Structure 1
Amino acid sequence: MKSYPGESTFIVRSGEIDYRGRATLPALVSYMQEAAWANTRDLGISMYDLLERGLTWVLQRMRVEMFRYPGHNDNITIETWASGRERVFLHRDFRIYNEERELLGQATSVWLVMDVVKRQLVSVPDFIIAVEVVPGSEPLPFAKGKLPQLQEAQQAQQMPIRWHDIDLNRHVTNTRYLQWALDTLPLQVLEQKQLRQIDIIFKAESMLGDTVVSAAAAADDSGHAYLHKLTSQESGKELVQAKTVWELES
């Protein structure tokens, strides 16, 4: 079977906007994951299809670039397609459009397959490999390579993991990590600047009852880039690494 792109439409709801009335990035990433779910469902390789085999999808990395944010009640369309495969890494791209088909943002992501009982990554199973990757659009550059390491935190917060932080895989959901990373930045950054790019790597899972320490620091002297690191307070294990790029609000 050949893969094919999918399109999903969403209306930006009041609980998904910031004080400017625009969709938050965690909300947009949630839409993208929902669009990916719909596309994989149509291809017979959704998370539910994997769970029947004791497997699941896990997001390993995502790089998002936003040109303009949709506002409250805006109708948006998210196009998504399987864009490539490298060993155990399965790539998926996204493009976000408004009603006028203006490109608002785009993203590329990397997915892995995990054994839900052993909590270990596995080789891509044959029934997924059988879905031939046929990109519906020009693939975005794959998200790969290392990010700069945060050496000394300038801001830090502790985030106890609560019941509503947990997803279907029984670990902290990806968008919650993203939210915690952004929430750690100084208020002046969040109020005066607009997030344009994020590259986020999910390195390990955390469970109910753990506490996540979210740290951030300026990446350079420009005031436009920040490094992020989320770790488990209990084990000291690094959970998430990210870099964000911001622009002054116009």
Structure 2
Amino acid sequence: MINEQSPFFFTQDYQVRYSEMDYKKALKPSALFNFLQDVATNAANKGHFGYYEVTERNLAWFLLKYHMEFSNYPVDIKDLFIKTEARGYNKLFAHRDFELYNENKELVGRVLSYWSLVNVNDRSMLAPQTVFTQFEKVEKREDDMFFKKVHEPERIDYTEEFKIRFDDIDVNQHVNNANYIVWAFETLPKEFKDTHKIKTLDMVFKKEIKFGNTVVSEAQIDDNLAKIVVKNKNTNDELCALNVEFV
């Protein structure tokens, strides 16, 4: 669990708006991704390794992986309380944990994430601890979560295409990662989403994409498991892959 005594502990509360829920009042995955990114940004700024510290060095933080576990995926909640802790570095990656609580302060989900520090000029990766000396090596805890291997679809059951809009582009001049989950979930049939909610999610971000391209999302569903890959249609490069277990 998160150590609230850590100097890298941070918490933020959100009032969940109707626009951030689907018609069943479940929290939209894209809204959750935006909340997590917002909390991570604010926590990094507080820890003096955030947006301004990296941009002045021509660097940027890039999200690499998510692992999410939900004991009860947020549905019909008015407030979401998010705790986060930057755990430190593991080789070339920065490790950040999140915990999600409902308005009754009940733990409803946990998230593990890996981030890379990238030189925006040549796209080379830097070890975070060589730039920000406050980073220490990650120490394992008994209840740590782990990333699962993401398996790509062996067949294509469902597919959708999406044109990159100007509105999709973020401050790093590429598509924000919250859009990737939109493309992935839009590919799943409504009938399936009507009767299922997320239990676990593992997602790997592989490449960025910019304005003017088209993406194609391909999905396979076997029982309660969805395997999804999102590609750049223009180059066939894989942008992300994810496995989602539903209940």
TM-score by length of 2: 0.90
The runs of 5 or more residues in structure 2 that have no matched partner are 1-5
Partner of 1:209: 212
What corresponds to 1:8 in structure 2?
12
1:85 aligns with 2:85: no
1:39: Cα distance to partner? 1.1
Structure 1 stretches of 5 or more lacking a match? none
Q: What secondary structure does 1:100 align onto? A: coil
CA shift in 2, pair 1:125/1:133, >3 Å: closer
Does the alignment pair 1:146 with 2:149?
yes
- 2:31 corresponds to which residue? 27
| Partners of 1:111 and 1:31 in 2: CA distance | 16
State whether residues 89 and 129 of structure 2, in contact with CA within 8 Å, keep that contact through their aligned partners in structure 1. Answer: no
Which aligned pairs between 1:1-250 and structure 2 lie closer than 5 A? 3-71=7-75, 74-124=78-128, 126-132=130-136, 140-143=144-147, 146-218=149-221, 220=222, 223-247=223-247
Return the alpha-carbon distance in structure 2 between the equivalents of residues 169 and 200 of structure 1. Answer: 20
Per-residue deviation, residues 39-62 of structure 1 (Å, max 9, x unmatched) = 111110012220111000000000
Distance in 1 (alpha carbons) for counterparts of 2:129 and 2:120: 14
CA contact (8 A) 2:63 2:205 kept: yes
Per the TM alignment, residue 133 of structure 1 is displaced from its structure 2 partner at its CA by 5.9
Structure-2 separation of matches of 1:90 and 1:245: 26
CA contact (8 A) 1:157 1:214 kept: yes
Q: CA–CA distance in 2 between the matches of 1:231 and 1:194? A: 25
1:160 CA displacement: 0.8
CA RMSD in angstroms comes to 2.0
Using a 3 Å threshold, how does the CA distance of structure 1 residues 134 and 230 change in structure 2: closer, same or farther? closer
**Per the alignment, do residues 163 and 138 of structure 1 end up closer, same or farther by CA in structure 2, a change over 3 Å counting?**
farther
May I ask how many residue pairs the two structures share in their alignment?
241
Any idea what the Cα deviations from partners look like across 1:123-159, whole Å, max 9, x if unmatched? 3352324333688x8663232x532221221111111
Structure 2 counterpart SS, 1:193: coil
